[in-house]
Amino acid sequence: MARWNPAAPSARSSWCPSHDLGQTSAVVQSDRLELVPVDAARKGVMGRLTTHVLDTASGRPAAGITVELFRVGADARVAVGVTNADGRLDRPLAEGAALPGGTYELRFHAGDYLRRAGRTSDPPFLDVVPIRFGVVAGESYHVPLILSPFGYATYRGS
């Protein structure tokens, strides 16, 4: 492989409208940096699963929510984490070989969070919020939870 030359025309990315070279991505290969097409770069990257929780009632990230990941059919917990002050986990719930294709379920312990915030009934309308979704091996997923005391939403983010 040729060494990366930042002055070479091939080192320019398609974000610059005056160049029509196709979208590229930088890939580090031991002692060299190489630009490869984005699709080729993605093939070598193992997938990962991340999440975050936003509390729409308070207008802030939801800190202190326990999040569990289960692989459906295995009946075993794959991972567990707690959201930080930014409403995110400190690391992906699963990545690489720990995230094979299949059906997964995230369980957000929203009731505990809402009780601590004093914004729920007894029993709480929302307690453990399950989100079941499919994963294609090698792809990355960001599955956020948008939460209020009486409803929630999710989507596949990036």
Token pair of 49 as six digits: 């699963």
- Per-residue pLDDT of 48-99, as tens digits, reads 999 999 999 999 999 999 999 999 998 789 999 999 999 999 999 999 999 9
What are the residue boundaries of the structural domains of the chain, listed by start?
9-43, 48-154
Q: What is the pLDDT of residue 43?
A: 53
User: What is the tens place of the pLDDT at every residue in 114-141?
Assistant: 999 998 888 889 999 999 999 999 999 9
Structure tokens at 151: 């409803």
Q: Which CATH superfamily is domain 48-154 in?
A: Transthyretin/hydroxyisourate hydrolase domain (2.60.40.180)
Query: Residue 112 is encoded by which pair of tokens?
Result: 């505990």
The pLDDT of residue 2 is 47
* Statement: residue 4 has pLDDT above 80: no
Cα end-to-end span (Å), the chain = 31
For β-strands 141-142 and 48-50, DSSP reports them as parallel
* Confidence at residue 17, expressed as pLDDT on a 0 to 100 scale: 35
Strands 48-50 and 94-95: antiparallel
pLDDT of residue 145 exceeding 70: yes
pLDDT at 126: 94
Check pLDDT > 70 for residue 29.
Answer: no
C-alpha–C-alpha distance, residues 123 and 98, integer Å? 36
Is the pLDDT confidence value at 142 over 70? yes
- What was the pLDDT predicted at 15? 33
